[in-house]
Amino acid sequence: MLVWKIAFRNLYRQKSRSLLCGSSICGAFILFSISLGFSDGTYGTIIRMLTENHSGHVQIHRKGYLDNPSLHRNFKLEGELVNILREYEEVQSWSARIHSAALMFGEHKSGFGRITGIDPKQEEQVTGLSRKLESGRVFEESSDREIILGSRLRNLLKVEIGDEVVLLGQGADGSIANDLFVISGFLKADSELQEVNRAYLPLKTAQEFFSLGSRVHELALHLREDGYAREQAVEIQQKMPHEELEVHPWQVVEEAFYKAMAADMEGNWITQLVILFIVALLILITVLMNTLERQHEFGVLLALGTSPGFIFRSIVLEMTLLGCFSVLTGLLPAYALNWYFSQNGIVIEPAMEYGGMVFDQLLSEPTLSSLIIPAFAAVLTAFLVALYPAFKAARSVPVEIMNQA
């Protein structure tokens, strides 16, 4: 109990030094917390943009399709599979898609585009297709001659809403596929980079155009809980009616994107560690100065029979308490700033592209981890940094110290 009293007394007695050191710890804690908040918010935004605007949380394909996409690697959308998805509670919605490519001809220009066949109602529930439109409207499923173009295709073909385009491709049976379509809408120019070269057709129209019958290439699933895509993919895989079907979470479907994001997150942690290292140096210098100024005091205590262990514990406890007080002081400001930046993000001009996602704002995310991790790191740093000065003070020789004083 005595060591606690001495630790509190020393903190109160050396107010200016305690304030300087405590401010450093508090500032580092707040900075670390905001940095983590922005990190969680930014990566969370990017993941939501990818899964809610493009890929979905989980996808179902025929085996080998992800490694080698082909018009012929398709599967039949039959009743048993549909019933499994309807009965599985974690699947909120799903959308059937087919993918291929075709030459596109406007009145004066031509170009190459990626064709995706969708059911507009299903796709709206999974990726919110209407949110991505810059102008025009989403076609109805019953519309068999309407098409939506990405911004790059619009500029390439020099077309407007209501214009006609001709598609020329190859059917799954080897036949030449060609037909005339009327443009019903355009995707936003700042939508995901995957979308700028894409053209959407009604699912049945695309199936007829590419001679696929009732077969599809992909089912994109939107889950109720987006944080458990890997676990849900495993469970859904076990329910599949045929071994030829594979179920993959978005981390596998967008593997290149996920690996790039994981590497970026590791780099972000290195930045956090650099911040902690700088603060640790500042704390170390402060504690060493404090120890040097109190050498006479330590010499007297040792001469009076105080054990070195007691001095060691008092210094370590003093710095640990200072770390705890500093974190408690910074909790409210850290949370308040994270909350503010979650409502009022930092605008990026021009918009930034990351892994095919385009976004123009950095948002924080005030999570529990953005407070707990920095708090633990700050207190642990204060504790570890105090060990060397405390050890040095405890090993001092009383007579030499008193003579130097």
The pLDDT tens digits of the residues spanning 61-110 come to 999 999 899 899 999 888 888 888 888 888 999 999 999 999 999 888 88
| Environment class of 284 (CB within 10 Å of its CB; exposed 0-12, middle 13-18, buried 19+) | middle
Q: Does 92 share its domain with 173?
A: yes
Q: What is the distance, to the nearest Å, from the Cα of residue 383 to the centroid of all Cα atoms in its chain?
A: 32
Contact present, 173 and 192 (Cβ < 8 Å):
no
At residue 329's C-alpha, the angle toward residues 323 and 331, to 5°, is 100
The first and second tokens of residue 32, run together, are 């670390």
Residue 21, pLDDT score: 79
| List of residues 6+ apart from 165 with CB closer than 8 A | 104, 105, 106, 147, 149, 157, 159, 180, 181, 183
Mean pLDDT of 231-248: 90
- Percent of the chain beyond pLDDT 70? 90
Q: Is 225 within a domain?
A: no
Dump strand ranges (E) for 173-325: 176-187, 198-202, 215-216, 218-223, 245-249
Give whole-number Cα distances, 250 to 38, 54, 80, 131, 197, in Å.
22, 10, 24, 21, 21
Q: Does 338 share its domain with 393?
A: yes
Query: Could you give the residue ranges of the DSSP H alpha helices within 51-119?
Result: 79-87
Q: Is 245 within a domain?
A: no
Q: Taking the CA atoms of the chain, what radius of gyration do you get in angstroms?
A: 31
Q: Is the pLDDT of residue 168 over 90?
A: yes
Q: Is 180 within a domain?
A: yes
Q: Does 104 share its domain with 13?
A: no
* Packing angle of the helix pair 369-394, 255-293 (nearest 10 deg): 30
Q: Does 183 share its domain with 310?
A: no
| List of residues 6+ apart from 344 with CB closer than 8 A | none
| List of residues 6+ apart from 289 with CB closer than 8 A | 17
Mean pLDDT of 154-160: 90
Mean pLDDT of 200-211: 93
The first and second tokens of residue 148, run together, are 């939506």
Domain boundary at 216, 248, 268, which?
Answer: 216
Q: How far is it, in rounded angstroms, from Cα 232 to Cα 249?
A: 8
Q: Is 339 within a domain?
A: yes
Q: What three-state secondary structure class fits 360?
A: strand
Q: How far is it, in rounded angstroms, from Cα 311 to Cα 302?
A: 9
Q: Is 221 within a domain?
A: no
Q: Is the pLDDT of residue 309 over 90?
A: no
Number of CB atoms found within 10 A of residue 73's CB: 16
Q: pLDDT (tens digit, 9 = 90+) per residue, 341-383?
A: 888 877 777 666 665 566 667 788 888 888 998 899 888 888 8
Q: Does 195 share its domain with 333?
A: no
Q: Does 284 share its domain with 382?
A: yes
Entry pTM: 0.76
End-to-end CA distance of the chain: 29
Residue 161, pLDDT score: 92
The first and second tokens of residue 120, run together, are 């507009």
Q: What is the distance, to the nearest Å, from the Cα of residue 254 to the centroid of all Cα atoms in its chain?
A: 13
Q: Is 178 within a domain?
A: yes
Domain boundary at 216, 241, 276, which?
Answer: 216
- State which residues form the domain around 379: 2-51+258-404
Residue 35, pLDDT score: 84
Q: Is 334 within a domain?
A: yes
Q: Across all residues in the chain, what is the average pLDDT?
A: 83
Q: Is 244 within a domain?
A: no
Q: Does 204 share its domain with 321?
A: no
Q: Does 43 share its domain with 99?
A: no
Q: Does 267 share its domain with 301?
A: yes
Residue 98, pLDDT score: 94
Q: What is the distance, to the nearest Å, from the Cα of residue 234 to the centroid of all Cα atoms in its chain?
A: 22
Residue 197, pLDDT score: 80
Lowest mean pLDDT among 178-182, 212-216, 312-316: 312-316
Q: Does 75 share its domain with 210?
A: yes
Overall number of domains in the chain: 2
Residue 403, pLDDT score: 53
Q: pLDDT (tens digit, 9 = 90+) per residue, 18-72?
A: 787 788 888 888 888 888 888 888 788 888 888 888 889 999 999 999 989 989 9
Write out 333-344 in H/E/C secondary structure.
HHHHHHHHHHHC
Q: Is the pLDDT of residue 194 over 90?
A: no
Q: Does 89 share its domain with 46?
A: no
Number of CB atoms found within 10 A of residue 266's CB: 9
Residues constituting the chain: 405
Mean pLDDT of 194-219: 89
Q: Does 196 share its domain with 266?
A: no
Q: How far is it, in rounded angstroms, from Cα 142 to Cα 122?
A: 14
Mean pLDDT of 235-255: 89
Residue 62: beta bridge partners? 245
